[in-house]
Amino acid sequence: MIWSSFHEFILMHGYGGYVWGSFGLTALLMVLEFRQLRKINQSIFSENLPS
């Protein structure tokens, strides 16, 4: 697809809300998963440290 302006690219012939919404949701879920994995990893290592 070729767009004549940046605004048309963002709108994507009326499907922009679905496209950009899905990109945003995917990015958010990836960030949340990364944070959760870091939290789990830190808790595992803190349990194994000698007191």
Retrieve residue 25's tokens. Answer: 């949701």
pLDDT attached to residue 49: 66
Write down the pLDDT at residue 18.
Answer: 96
DSSP 22-42: HHHHHHHHHHHHHHHHHHHHH
**What's the pLDDT score for residue 2?**
81
CB 26 within 8 A of CB 33: no
Q: What pLDDT was estimated at residue 51?
A: 58
**Domain edges within the chain:** 13-48
Q: Tell me: the pLDDT tens digits for 1-51?
A: 687 999 999 999 899 999 999 999 999 999 999 999 999 998 888 877 665
Q: Can you tell me the distance from the alpha carbon of 29 to that of 27, in angstroms, rounded to the nearest whole number?
A: 5
pLDDT at 45: 80
Written as six digits, the tokens of 30 are 């990836």
